[in-house]
A and B are shown apart, each in its own frame.
Chain A
Amino acid sequence: MPMRGFVRMAISQATILRRNVTFWLVSIFIAALSMLVFGALFSPDQQPLRLAVVDEDGSPAAAELVTAFESVDSVELRLGVREPELSALHGGDREAVVVIPQGFEASIATGGSDLEVFYDNSNPTELAYATTTLKAVVDGYNQQVNPMRDPVRMRSEAVDTNSGRYIDFLTPGMVGMTIMFTNLAVGFMMVNWREQGILRRLGVTPLRPGAFIGSQAVSFAAVSIAQVVIILALGRLAFGVEVQGSVVWLALTAVLGVLCMLSIGYVIASFARTVTSFNVVQQLVAFPMLFLGGSYFPVDPSPALAPVVNAVPLTHLNDALREVINHGGGPADLWVSWLVLLTWAGGGFLVSLRLFRWQ
């Protein structure tokens, strides 16, 4: 069978998927809805700005500044010592740390003093909010002390922390979930086409099962990538979720996820004779995977349950996606997840090719 046939098959199948709007739109809709609901629930305006102030001066002027910070409604103030507080910032327990340097009071009278301000870098929206809030306080303080000059200035430093907003956790999980649902659905298509006699129609042509499945994989990968782009665009525009890592590794991770989920879809289709029985099995597979795989909530299993969680391919897909999107990881961090996904894909395709029938 000519190469032209493979290409035409891939194009036609992509066309069929595209025209089945419910198919690709519903998955995106579920992801978007989840993100909007959870993103809105955890919006920064509702959360207090946890501010740690390290007063290394101990003067009345410094104490006044502290009071000024504390008086802001959304600020939850803690007084502390430099190292532990920076540690807490790093661990995601503070949004900002302000260090009032030794000699603060003296410096204000002479030339001016620089406050060291450390911000949590992981969340642009919260960062903007914290910056504005602290600046407002400092400006107010400056007005009081010396309206003509600005004796107190801020030297800011954005710090990479381990904290993340829930939306940052959720978005890669939604990408993983969508890849799963979209590509498991290939099995539905196979069973449906088999029932309709469409596969039989292909079985009397020179088209071989391997080429047929290959062309489907290409078309499903194209649709999945488009969905991934849409979800990440939504995350970026609505919530400032940034892709920290390389697009190349992200694409590779997505494609491996596609192949893995496709192969599971095919295996189920090998055993299901009707679309109803396919749907039943697919639900039984997809929903446990969705929750054990950590798309919505972090899964931290006890040692006894860890093998179960690790046996779920979605776990590895979500881990890899979070590694690339949230932490900017590269092949060194990702190869284990990639290997797991590839193994699932390879095994699944082998099984389904053996069991493949046109009718």
Chain B
Amino acid sequence: MTAPTLRARPTRAPAGDAVLTVDCLTKRYNGLTAVDAISFEVTTGETFGILGPNGAGKTTTLEMIEGLREPDGGRITLLGLDAVRKRSAVQDRIGVQLQSQALWPELTVEETLRTFAALFRHRAPLERLLARFSLDEKRRSLVKALSGGQKQRLSVAVALVNDPDIVFLDEPTTGLDPQARHDLWDLVQDIRDEGKTVILTTHYMEEAETLCDRVAIMDRGRIEALDTPRNLILDLDFDSTIECAFAAPVDGDRLLALPAVRRLVNNNGSDVLFTSDVSQTLSALTHVTDTRLLNLQVRTATLEDVFISMTGRKLRP
């Protein structure tokens, strides 16, 4: 028995004005379609996430919206403007956070902020930025002398230097340790609380679940699903996963035949059962084979499971 594949359900954005509308956006490289006619809307004040593995097209999508790349097809309407034709006007009003390495090592914190601020028509007050990101004391320090966490804060501060209404974060916590990751999540919450719209891409499921109002699941250039994290999980035909490792390989058909099992995926020698009734499956599991059970993990479904059930692959291999 195989599990029915989840079809992508079009979802209307929550009530409110759309600050970003993407319509049939397409990008091709060397005959490969990196972004395949995707469409979605983001509402003002929303935190919107694009979740997918590396190579899904998330960064390319964001780059086209930010004006770094030209689309091969489709339209982007951002803050009421055509983002492709009115690139400069749009760039003047958005904030973009890139990796914290993308700063000049030879400038001071203050000089960095002033340099970027000078490129925009509207600037946030420097003192407020420094205070808010706890960079006051370091204002005259060279960027190369900053700690990793300070560089990260500066990187986000640079994204807010023109007090934008909408902020783009591209894989903001990749390469960061857990503490730094949580610090960044706090910063994002602050930005949200100010009423700004946040659009982020990530391949970390916890990040999407924690931060985002709605998540678009993207794979191979297409949006496979778009909804709130809760709805995405509820829409699944299972609510839990059981990961078990046996002393010797067990026949997959026997596992699939267990009660309430919807789907079976094999992961590096472990079998992962997607079940809609944990207790039923568990009690049957212990009797299904004589082979000794070495390891057992039970957890409720996450966005990663949504992804696996849609594509058969993990978010991070």
* Nearest CB in chain A: distance from B95 CB, A: 9
In the complex, given contacts A12-B115, A204-B91, what are 20 additional A-B residue pairs having Cβ atoms less than 8 angstroms apart?
Answer: A1-B120, A5-B118, A8-B119, A9-B118, A15-B111, A16-B106, A16-B107, A19-B106, A197-B99, A197-B101, A197-B102, A198-B102, A198-B103, A201-B103, A202-B119, A204-B66, A204-B67, A204-B68, A204-B94, A359-B68
A-B contact pairs, 30 of them (CB 8 A): A1-B88, A1-B119, A2-B121, A5-B120, A8-B118, A9-B115, A9-B118, A12-B104, A12-B114, A12-B115, A15-B107, A16-B106, A16-B107, A196-B102, A197-B99, A197-B101, A198-B102, A198-B103, A200-B68, A200-B102, A201-B96, A201-B102, A204-B66, A204-B67, A204-B91, A204-B98, A205-B120, A206-B88, A206-B92, A206-B120
Is B116 an interface residue when CB atoms closer than 8 A count as contact?
A: yes
* Nearest CB in chain B: distance from A118 CB, A: 56
Q: How far is the CA of A207 from the CA of B161 in the complex (A)?
A: 14
Checking A5, A12, A201 against B107 with a beta-carbon cut-off of 8 angstroms, the contacting residue is A12
Taking CB atoms, residues of chain B closer than 8 Å to A103 are none
Question: Which residue, of A15, A19, A206, has the highest number of chain B Cβ atoms within 10 A?
Answer: A206
Taking CB atoms, residues of chain B closer than 8 Å to A7 are 118
* Nearest CB in chain A: distance from B59 CB, A: 11
- Restricting to A30-84, which residues have a CB under 8 Å from any CB of B? none
Taking CB atoms, residues of chain A closer than 8 Å to B101 are 196-197
Q: How far is the CA of A204 from the CA of B167 in the complex (A)?
A: 12
Q: How far is the CA of A197 from the CA of B100 in the complex (A)?
A: 9
- Restricting to A131-168, which residues have a CB under 8 Å from any CB of B? none
Q: Which 7 A-B pairs have the closest CB atoms?
A: A8-B118, A197-B102, A204-B96, A19-B106, A5-B118, A12-B115, A5-B119
Q: How far is the CA of A4 from the CA of B99 in the complex (A)?
A: 26
B residues sitting closer than 8 Å to A (CB atoms) are 66-68, 88, 91-92, 94, 96, 98-99, 101-104, 106-107, 111, 114-116, 118-121, 142, 158
Is A302 an interface residue when CB atoms closer than 8 A count as contact?
A: no
Q: A16-B104, A197-B101 are in contact. Are A203 and B115 (CB under 8 A)?
A: no
Of chain B, the residue at the smallest CB distance from A4 is B118
Q: Is the CB of B99 within 8 A of A8?
A: no
Taking CB atoms, residues of chain B closer than 8 Å to A5 are 118-120
Q: How far is the CA of A9 from the CA of B115 in the complex (A)?
A: 6
Main secondary structure on B side of the interface with A: loop
Taking CB atoms, residues of chain B closer than 8 Å to A201 are 96, 98, 102-103, 158
* Nearest CB in chain A: distance from B187 CB, A: 18
Q: Is the CB of B68 within 8 A of A207?
A: no
A 167-209 binary contact with B (CB < 8 Å = 1; else 0) = 0000000000000000000000000000011101111111110
Is A110 an interface residue when CB atoms closer than 8 A count as contact?
A: no
Q: How far is the CA of A15 from the CA of B96 in the complex (A)?
A: 25
Taking CB atoms, residues of chain A closer than 8 Å to B119 are 1-2, 5, 8-9, 202, 205-207
Taking CB atoms, residues of chain A closer than 8 Å to B66 are 204
* Nearest CB in chain B: distance from A182 CB, A: 16
* Nearest CB in chain B: distance from A77 CB, A: 61
Q: How far is the CA of A125 from the CA of B278 in the complex (A)?
A: 99
Q: How far is the CA of A203 from the CA of B87 in the complex (A)?
A: 11
* Nearest CB in chain B: distance from A351 CB, A: 21
Of chain A, the residue at the smallest CB distance from B69 is A359
Q: Is the CB of B99 within 8 A of A203?
A: no
Q: How far is the CA of A91 from the CA of B104 in the complex (A)?
A: 55
Taking CB atoms, residues of chain B closer than 8 Å to A198 are 102-104
Taking CB atoms, residues of chain B closer than 8 Å to A208 are 88
